[in-house]
Amino acid sequence: MTIETILPIPDIFAAKRILCIQPHYDDNDMAVAGTLTQLAKHGAEIIYLTVTDDLMGITDVSLSDEATAEALKCDQFAAAKIVGVKEQYWLGYPDAGDYDYFAVRRDLLKYLRRLRPDFVFTVDPWLTYEGHRDHIQTGLATAEAVMFTSLTKIASSDPTVDAAYDEHEIQGIAFYHTREPNYISDITSTWENKVDAVRCYETQFSPEGMDRRVALLDKKSTQVAQGQSFARGEPLKVLDTNALHVGI
């Protein structure tokens, strides 16, 4: 027996500004490019924020850090064009590194207060058997930052942003890379866009590695749509902001 929240699941299609916070440069698109493409077409402003610098997983280790960073951004901008991402931001924490949770949370508070999204997407840090610490840290820090956005006594990393902030409402949070979805998004109509976006991430995948990844995403998208009225899905745990605390 697992007790679910009593708060209604907010409608992601009611969102006007969506901030998508990812640990690594390709997580948003690997997980939810299908849904985000639909939301962008529906008129929402989509903004990406990447927490780490992604310097560990690159395929060409002969590249300098500067050349790598450029190649990574070039991949991101190509994918963003397909999905319809309006703006991108980076925090630059060391990939797979020993960075401070509270520093990340302060930076996330800064972007939440500055960009004032009404919906936030991020990785599910409660995904069991997720081994990557960057994912757990990013998901947890995002959840706390969403809860604490209007509590300006909790400082962000930018006092000017905190001073200028007028309270706004974040309707909800959508966790991707989840094993416990409460919403399966129908991405049948945007599946090809998703594959095109994912294929832009060439810096971290060999051609064979990319084909393997696309084959896995293909299989996963049909697995999660089983029992639904559509062919392909992306699983999400969508929660009201108030459902991020004490299991209410």
Contact residues: another protein, CB under 8 A: 27, 30-31, 55-57, 61, 96, 98, 123-124, 127-133, 135, 177-182, 216, 219-220, 223-224, 235
Shortest CB 110 distance to another protein, Å: 26
For the CB of residue 203, give the shortest distance to another protein in the complex, in Å.
Answer: 14
Residue at token pair 């207060």: 113
Which of 83, 170 has the CB closer to another protein? 83
Nearer to another protein, 118 or 124 (CB): 124
Contacts 24+ apart (CB under 8 A), 203-207: 203/58, 203/59, 203/60, 203/68, 203/71, 203/72, 203/74, 203/75, 204/25, 204/26, 204/54, 204/57, 204/58, 204/59, 204/72, 204/75, 205/59, 206/59
Structure tokens at 155: 């400082």
Residue whose CB is less far from another protein, 16 or 230:
230
Please report how close the Cβ of residue 162 comes to another protein at its closest, in angstroms: 31
Distance (Å, whole) CA 95 – CA 37: 27
Nearer to another protein, 29 or 45 (CB): 29
Tokens of 227: 């029992």
Minimum distance, C-beta of residue 79 to another protein, in the bound complex (Å): 17
Distance from C-alpha of 88 to C-alpha of 65, rounded to nearest angstrom = 20
Q: How far apart are CA 205 and CA 217, in angstroms?
A: 14
Please say which residue, 142 or 178, places its beta carbon nearer to another protein.
Answer: 178
Least distance in Å: CB of 93 to another protein? Answer: 14
